[in-house]
Structure 1
């Protein structure tokens, strides 16, 4: 008999799991998501979250409390009589009253190999740190921040030029598959969990705007990981002189050309295809976006914005 599920999620990342559980025949009795936020061209229209929109398209009722401090919201959650809560990038720390509000507890789909990269930005931080591997874990939630015992793991290799956006999409899909398997095992009474180790804990702090500017004085490997780890959002950036004045340009893709060696002052353009000297080694910029423009491959960017060899960007 299929389980009665409360689904809790907000961004695009969560939608694949919602759809997969629905397709697997489980009864999703309610979807919880973050409240509609101002958006649109002028920021005046209230925009429903991707999970809100997907749930409505599937005929699933939606609730969006600001938090669960109001006892009425907790009581309404418990009154649903669900077997389990499935949580994927919901965006709120859940109180114990919610974690205990279903028959079998709450299971979270988390985008890292716990205990490495607990917290808000595990996808970006894994790439920025140069990790060669990450994955999705289904974890039974407890009151800590991503500290609960792990039920299921799916690993994924991070390719050398993979961006955070590409990794996001890949993890979303394998996370959906993992959660469907985990909930199937839970339904059969065969889902076991293992406590996380005490060693290897790292926290994936939310990305701060202050860390998005590229520092070409760092080694090329670090610069490359920084660029791809912040692509496409919020986007690493630098300033390039355009028509005699510096203009902010997002760097959305790069390739590690040379990992070490002194090739020139950091930020120096070394050739006619946007290879840039770093503190050691060099990177080529393969995808760029000017303010108000669309993302362009490096060669197309150079057609509209020539950047001469020897130019120093920062």
Structure 2
């Protein structure tokens, strides 16, 4: 017998899970997503969220409260009499009354290996920190931020030059599979949970907070180590995009850096003696405070994302150039 599932999500990351729940035959009485936002070059056009567009494609009703401070919104949610709510990157805090409304509470699809990386940007922070692996988890939501007990886990390695965009796409597919498994177990009465304190004791993963990405963090500090620089570039790609200045034709130009990899001392130039931010070859290998990174994908203002080799064919950057200047 299918479950009655209220789905709550907003970005493209959430869409595969919604589609998988519907495909699995569960009844979805309502979709909750954040309201349409202003978009476009001048911000004049209201754009529905990817989840709203998918809900409309599926013919499912959509609700978009600004928040749940109005008791009427909580009453309307409770009136759905759902078996469970599934929350994947919804973007709003849920009050306890709402968490308690479905018969089996609220299940959250979270993109980290809890208790490591609780919070708003777990995928980006895992890449930035140089974690070797991450994953998707299905957890029971409670009042604390990502502190609830965990039911299912799917772990995956993080590639050496994998961006947040790459990883989000993979984890979104994992989320869909894992949540359908969780609903199957919930329906069968076999869904079991493990407290995060027990997970920490078993795995040694201490709680860390994945704070929201701030654009002020995005400028690259070339005095940092190569792993830290490459980690930030890949973590902030595609948005907000890490950046530096590159002296095309002698004038510094702000450029987004969208993919990079740390390289060893054989990659070109004398890394040990080069000042941070100095190019070590004519292929955008750049010295850091320790080690070096090779820039793989970049985007000039008003342009599209291109491979470094393609960009350099039209605008070469010679060995010995300094990146990051004013």
**Structure 2 residue matching 1:266: 3-state secondary structure:** coil
Task: Give how far 1:244 is off.
Answer: 3.5
CA distance in 2, matches of 1:122, 1:34: 20
- Aligned position for 1:152: 152
CA distance in 2, matches of 1:40, 1:23: 33
- The TM-score normalised by the length of structure 1 is 0.98
CA distance in 1, matches of 2:261, 2:147: 35
- Aligned position for 1:200: 206
Task: Give how far 1:263 is off.
Answer: 4.2
CA distance in 2, matches of 1:146, 1:255: 31
- Aligned position for 1:2: 2
Task: Give how far 1:2 is off.
Answer: 0.2
1:243 aligns with one of 227, 249, 252: 249
- Aligned position for 2:133: 133
- Aligned position for 1:46: 46
1:295 aligns with one of 286, 299, 305: 305
**Structure 2 residue matching 1:27: 3-state secondary structure:** coil
**Structure 1 residue matching 2:196: 3-state secondary structure:** coil
Map 1:1-314; keep pairs closer than 5 Å. 1-197=1-197, 200-258=206-264, 262-314=272-324
Preserved CA contact (<8 Å) 1:263 1:282: no
Q: Which runs of 4+ in 1 moved over 2 A?
A: 242-245
Spell out, residue by residue over 1:113-164, the C-alpha distance to the aligned partner (whole angstroms, 9 max, x if none): 0000000000000000000010000000000000000000000001111111
- The TM-score normalised by the length of structure 2 is 0.94
CA distance in 1, matches of 2:116, 2:206: 6
Unaligned runs of 5+ in 1: none
Q: CA RMSD in A?
A: 1.2
Preserved CA contact (<8 Å) 1:220 1:259: no
CA distance in 1, matches of 2:55, 2:259: 33
Task: Give how far 1:254 is off.
Answer: 1.0
